[in-house]
Amino acid sequence: MIKKIIFNTAKEQFRKAFRKHKSQIGRSKGMAKRGVLMGVEPYELKKMSIKRQIRNTKFMDKSAYMSAPKVESKKWMGRKPQIFGKAYASDKKGKGMQIPMMTAKERAANQDAISQSVRKFIAEKMGRKKLGGVIKAMKGRFI
């Protein structure tokens, strides 16, 4: 079982390295056409590196892993993170803007009231000069 795991791991590493090597060659050829020289690491060096990594890797079966000592992380014990500084509405769950549901007629009436108030505001504020004189607003542009 463990030999199969080691073999599959090594095989996958070699396959990945070969794919990277082929793409590196293709990239360097494309760059050479544009006049940029790129160096390509030889595949033999990559293979030697993978072999060294596999030799230095300790493969364990399940019983060896279970018996090996492990480092335990600190427990949070269900504490909530403290928020320092200003608290915003977005910090609290379920406290967003609560909008009551409207029927289609209510919504249309609400939209109509909004558009009327906007028209009134534009007619009052946009149609005057800063010094208080009245200018003639073009019909249909703002009103």
pLDDT tens string 51-98: 999 888 888 888 888 998 888 877 766 677 666 666 665 556 555 556
Residue 133 belongs to a domain: yes
Per residue in 92-118, pLDDT (tens digit) is 655 555 667 788 898 899 999 999 998
Domain range for 10 is 2-61
Give the number of domains in the chain.
2
Last residue of a domain, one of 45, 61, 77: 61
With respect to residue 135, please indicate whether it lies within any of the assigned structural domains: yes
Is residue 92, in this structure, part of any structural domain at all?
no
C-alpha distances in Å from residue 30, one per residue of 24, 27, 35, 70: 10, 5, 9, 49
> Residue 127 domain-assigned?
yes
For residue 74, the model assigns a pLDDT of 74
Tell me which long-range contacts 99-103 makes (C-beta under 8 A, separation of at least 24): none
Does residue 77 lie in a domain region? no
Does the model's pTM come out above 0.75?
Answer: no
- Tell me if 143 sits within 8 A of 119, measured CB to CB: yes
